[in-house]
Amino acid sequence: MPFPDGFLFGAATSSHQVEGSLDVDGRGESVWDAFARLPGAIEGGGDASVACDSYRLWRDDVALIEELGLQAYRYSIGWSRVLPDGRGRVETRALDHYERFTDALLDIGVTPMITLNHWDMPQALMSHEGWVGRESVGAFAEYAEAVADRLADRVEWWVTQNEPWIIALLGYHLGLHAPGVADLGKSVRAAHHVLLGHGVAADVLHRHPGAKAGCALSLFPCDPASDAAEDVAAARGSDGYVNRWFLDPLLAKGYPEDMWEHYERALGEPLDFIRAGDADAIAGRSDWLGINYYTRRVMAHAEVTPQRPFPWRVVGPRGDVPRTDESWEVVPSSLTGLLLRLHEDYPDTPMFITENGGIYGDSPTHDGRVHDVRRTDLLRDHVLAVEAAVDAGADVRGYLHWSLMDNFEWAMGYRPRMGLTYVDYRTGERIVKDSGRSYAELIRNHAH
């Protein structure tokens, strides 16, 4: 396999999805605590108060990472643990915890990758509607500073924001994620402030020699449902909405004009909250790009309606295609295509697969093992897809599987399982799945 020296194989999680212990070490409320209390917000009615119990069982997680032979581990800092009131008081007990965890990873030779915002904004910042208010940018800088001051001397890889599009779409446009706002205009503002947040956090990180700042984008290749010109235009439009609206400003091309026009038409007003100087505050600060890849979008033209602000809709692929249990199409070749397109459109940007995986409900069988054949195949096929892109010249530095273990899948609760490790939520027991064993073998075979 042509993976370059130093290529890192690993896995990822986020604080709110695995940690539990929401009421310890002075933690403040996050927007997800409040959201989870809304009737019907979380499938099954659960919340993240225990999850995988990782805040308490962190030594077990380190042992698991070692057992699997992971070379890198991506995890996030609980924002409301560090700044319980959103601004001001910094909770050092939380920083002590993450320092212990980080040092334990370094001790066993695992490269840490830290995400600053994996969606658990302090609830106190809802005083200005969270990311809708421009004040969020300063608050995020304060948080980034507190974490970087403690950890940037030993951590090289930093993700400032996780999936700005998903934050904006599910959190502020559809109201399906915290903080549960359902307003297109507010979602565009929120997305802009998330990107400005990336800029200020990257500036903070760059004060620490060696720290590399990147943003993890959820990227979905958009393919037309047919060769008809209007479906091709729909795919291009959707690409602007999902991908280029984030890639272009981050990687110094400015907001794409086609999508800017779509937004102004849909909102009936200018995007005047995007101020002179903002483009420069976002651009030119990414040392690398994080790619969260799960599937593609197959798009067709559609009429704009009050419910559909843009002239396109997702129709999905025709025929019988491989799908995960949540019906996402499994299409590894789109990952190769995506990486090569990024390599061409945004040259000189090192890339990292910061997430990739699938929902499969396999559980332990009579022998106590989890024979998750489909995840094993998905993982292998996506690693091969990355290999093909690397072979063709793409600068990819690593692959992180989502996720190290089954965890709290946001509004879908605990039903979807995405782990290399099965978690028995009643006991906290972790059982490495067959996919985890086969990944360990793959890593052993490719260790440099």
Residues that bind ligand IFM (CB under 6 A): 14, 17, 163, 292, 355, 402, 409
Task: Name 121's Cβ contacts closer than 8 Å, sequence gap at least 6.
Answer: 30, 31, 79, 80, 130, 131, 136, 178, 179
Nearer to ligand IFM, 3 or 414 (CB): 414
In the complex, minimum distance from the CB of residue 66 to ligand IFM, in angstroms, rounded to a whole number: 23
Question: Taking a C-beta distance cutoff of 8 angstroms, is the pair 393, 384 a contact?
Answer: no
* Pair type for strands 72-76 and 288-292: unpaired
In the complex, minimum distance from the CB of residue 2 to ligand IFM, in angstroms, rounded to a whole number: 28
Question: Taking a C-beta distance cutoff of 8 angstroms, is the pair 76, 115 a contact?
Answer: yes
Nearer to ligand IFM, 163 or 395 (CB): 163
Task: Name 66's Cβ contacts closer than 8 Å, sequence gap at least 6.
Answer: 108, 110
Beta strand ranges found along 164-236 (DSSP E): 212-218, 222-224
Nearer to ligand IFM, 8 or 12 (CB): 12
What is the C-alpha separation between 17 and 284, in angstroms, rounded? 31
Nearer to ligand IFM, 290 or 311 (CB): 290
Task: Say how many residues make up the chain.
Answer: 448
In the complex, minimum distance from the CB of residue 373 to ligand IFM, in angstroms, rounded to a whole number: 20
Nearer to ligand IFM, 15 or 376 (CB): 15
Beta strand ranges found along 59-156 (DSSP E): 72-76, 111-117
Residues noted as catalytic: 163, 355
In the complex, minimum distance from the CB of residue 324 to ligand IFM, in angstroms, rounded to a whole number: 10
* Pair type for strands 297-301 and 312-314: antiparallel
Beta strand ranges found along 36-77 (DSSP E): 72-76
Could you tell me the CA-to-CA distances from 378 to 53, 74, 93, 217, 224 in Å, in that order?
Answer: 27, 20, 39, 20, 24
Nearer to ligand IFM, 14 or 160 (CB): 14
In the complex, minimum distance from the CB of residue 354 to ligand IFM, in angstroms, rounded to a whole number: 9
Best CA proximity match to 29, nearest among 116, 123, 92: 123
Could you tell me the CA-to-CA distances from 258 to 233, 245, 356, 447 in Å, in that order?
Answer: 11, 10, 29, 44
In the complex, minimum distance from the CB of residue 72 to ligand IFM, in angstroms, rounded to a whole number: 17
